[in-house]
Structure 1
Amino acid sequence: MEDQLAYLIASVNRQLEEELAEKLRPEGVPIEQMRILSALERNDGLAMGDLAAQVLVDSTTLTKIIDRMVTALLVYRAPDPHDRRKVIIFLSPQGRSLIGRLQGIASEQQEKIMSRLKGGKADELKRLLRDLMQA
């Protein structure tokens, strides 16, 4: 099984997520919330479906996470001005401040990964993984 690509990719993903979760623990932020804050920082005002796709969480789970984040004053909901059936999620000032602090943690992990993959291997791995995602 250790030679199967899917197993290797899943194992690396689990390791990286555990490392990141450990770094985020003092901030009290789960990985999913960090991904949501990051996605909203890049493109504030996302519909729930678009946000779910970007952060790799199903819609039902995302709704529960967003409920907690609204209660924590990290994000807020507003109706879509073009389609009242849709809800748009925005970063609050507190959420914007928090993601500013969390970006350093994510950058630190990125640098650690890059240092493990020297000589252009990181760029090659990114390309290979993107190719797999498009297949």
Structure 2
Amino acid sequence: MTDQLGYLIASLNRQLEADLSERLRPGGVPIERYRILEVLDAGEPRSMGEIAAQALIETPTLTKIVDKMTMEGLVYRAPDPNDRRRVMVLTAPDGKALFKRLRGVSTAQEQRIVDRLDSDKATELRSLLRELLQ
């Protein structure tokens, strides 16, 4: 194992994503769908570009996922009232209910991380990671 920061961050990301995916599996929701609902819960409507950036999903993949979610009644598309050429995505009532049911899964993961580090270290890590992202 290497101590390079990039490797450690990537390894931790894979571990956290795998853990979250496993915990979402009983609800029948792939992590990408959960992330889309999470982005929309934080504020909607959102453009496809905004969702792609915030949910860390490539745009072509996002389009396919949103198409399926639309067919399942979890989200819907609407024209941007300020620019009719732009499409916005919003959460349908079934999508809101699904996210509400599953929100505790990621909240519990967050709490497990904070518990392992203690609150001060978790706050410091969050700050350091935000600094690196800028």
**TM-based fold match above 0.5:** yes
Q: CA deviation at 1:118?
A: 1.5
Which secondary structure does the structure 2 equivalent of 1:84 belong to? strand
AA at the equivalent of 2:131: D
Q: How far off its partner does 1:72 sit?
A: 1.4
Q: What is aligned with 2:112? A: 112
Which runs of 5 or more residues in structure 2 are unaligned? none
Runs of 4+ displaced beyond 4 Å:
none
Corresponding residue number in structure 1 for 2:130: 130
> Aligned partners of 2:30 and 2:92: how far apart in 1?
18
The AA in structure 2 aligned to 1:64 is: K
Segment of structure 1 superposing worse, 52-61 or 19-28? 52-61
Distance 1:9 1:94 in 2: 35
Once the two structures are TM-superposed, the CA of residue 85 in structure 1 deviates from its matched residue by 1.3
Distance 2:72 2:118 in 1: 40
How big is each residue's C-alpha offset from its partner over 1:66-111, in whole Å with a ceiling of 9 and x where there is no partner? 0111111110011112212111100000000001011111111111
1:62 matched to which residue of 2?
A: 62
Tell me the percent identity. Answer: 54
How big is the shift at 1:119?
5.3
Q: 1:79 to 1:120 in 2, by over 3 A?
A: same
Matched residue, 2:25:
25
What does the per-residue CA deviation read over 1:2-27, in whole Å, with 9 as the maximum and x for residues that have no partner? 11100000000001111100000011
CA distance in 2, matches of 1:42, 1:49: 15
1:14 maps onto 2:28 in alignment: no
Describe the SS at the equivalent of 1:67.
Answer: helix
Q: Paired residues, what number? A: 134
| Whole-angstrom distance in 2 between the partners of 1:119 and 1:87 | 40
Shift of 1:41: 1.1
Question: 1:30: how far off?
Answer: 1.1
How high is the TM-score relative to the length of structure 2? Answer: 0.95
Distance 1:126 1:41 in 2: 21
SS, match of residue 84 in structure 2: coil
Give me the whole-angstrom Cα distance separating, in 1, the residues matched to 2:101 and 2:40. 15
Task: Give the aligned partner of residue 3 of structure 1.
Answer: 3
CA distance in 1 between counterparts of 2:34 and 2:9 reads 21
Instruction: State TM-score, norm by structure 1.
Output: 0.95
- Distance, in Å, in 2 between the alignment partners of 1:4 and 1:126 is 19
